[in-house]
C-alpha cells in the first residue's frame, strides 16, 4: 500500500499526521498492519504546489483486491477526500501497489499499480519495508527498481524526511 497526503485535516492536522491516522483507520477497518515505512516528504507532481507526506504499509487481509479497494475508498471518504483535479491537493490517497496474488486487472483497479515503478514517493518508502518483493511484470525487486530510479534522478531533488 502507498499512502500520501498534502492537505491538513481538521482533526488529524498536518499531512504526516494524516498518514499516521489513515494507518490507524485501516487497522480499525479490519486490515492487519504488518509494517509501516518512515514517512517521507516529497515534491508534488502535477498541478499541486504542496509537498506530500508519503509512506508505505504492508497489510494482510482476506479481502480480494476489489473489496480491499472499496474499503480503502471508504476510509478516504471518511477523511474528507473528494474527487477533484487529477494530481491535485488531497487529504489522503490510499493505493494498492502490489498484491501477494501477483497480477490483478479490472475496470477500476490494476495491480501492480500502473506507474509505481517510476515514482520515488512510492518506491523509496516501499523499499524500507519490502525490499525483496518482486514486481510481477518486470521481475525485479523493489530494491532494484528503487536503485534504477535513483540513478535517473537529479542529485538536487532527493526525497527528504520531514
Q: What is the DSSP letter of 85?
A: S
Q: Is-catalytic flag, 7? A: no
Active site residue 132: no
Residue 28 annotated to the active site: no
Catalytic residue among 8, 81, 143, 150: 81
Question: Is 81 one of the catalytic residues?
Answer: yes
Answer whether 56's CB lies under 8 Å from 1's CB: yes
Dmax over CA atoms of the chain, in Å, equals 42
**Distance set, CA 32 to CA 10, 19, 49, 67, 91 (Å):** 26, 16, 33, 15, 23
Of 68, 10, 17, 16, whose CA–CA distance to 40 is shortest?
16
Catalytic residue among 7, 93, 119, 120: 93
End-to-end Cα spacing for the chain: 20
Q: Just list the catalytic residues.
A: 81, 90, 93, 95
Amino acid at each position: 500500500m502507498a499512502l500520501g497526503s498534502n492537505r491538513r485535516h481538521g482533526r488529524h492536522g498536518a499531512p504526516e499526521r494524516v498518514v499516521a491516522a489513515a494507518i490507524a483507520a485501516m487497522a480499525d477497518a479490519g486490515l492487519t498492519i504488518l509494517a509501516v515505512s518512515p514517512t517521507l516528504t516529497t515534491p508534488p507532481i502535477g498541478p499541486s504546489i504542496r509537498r506530500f507526506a508519503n509512506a508505505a504499509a504492508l497489510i494482510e487481509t482476506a479481502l480480494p483486491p476489489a473489496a480491499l479497494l472499496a474499503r480503502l475508498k471508504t476510509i478516504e471518504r471518511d477523511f474528507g477526500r473528494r474527487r477533484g483535479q487529477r494530481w491535485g491537493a488531497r487529504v489522503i490517497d490510499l493505493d494498492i501497489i502490489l498484491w501477494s496474488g501477483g497480477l490483478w486487472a479490472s475496470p477500476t483497479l490494476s495491480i501492480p499499480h500502473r506507474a509505481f515503478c517510476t515514482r520515488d514517493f512510492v518506491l523509496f518508502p516501499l523499499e524500507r519495508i519490502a525490499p525483496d518483493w518482486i514486481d510481477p511484470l518486470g521481475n525485479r525487486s523493489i530494491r532494484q527498481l528503487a536503485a534504477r530510479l535513483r540513478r535517473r534522478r537529479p542529485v538536487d531533488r532527493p526525497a527528504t524526511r520531514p
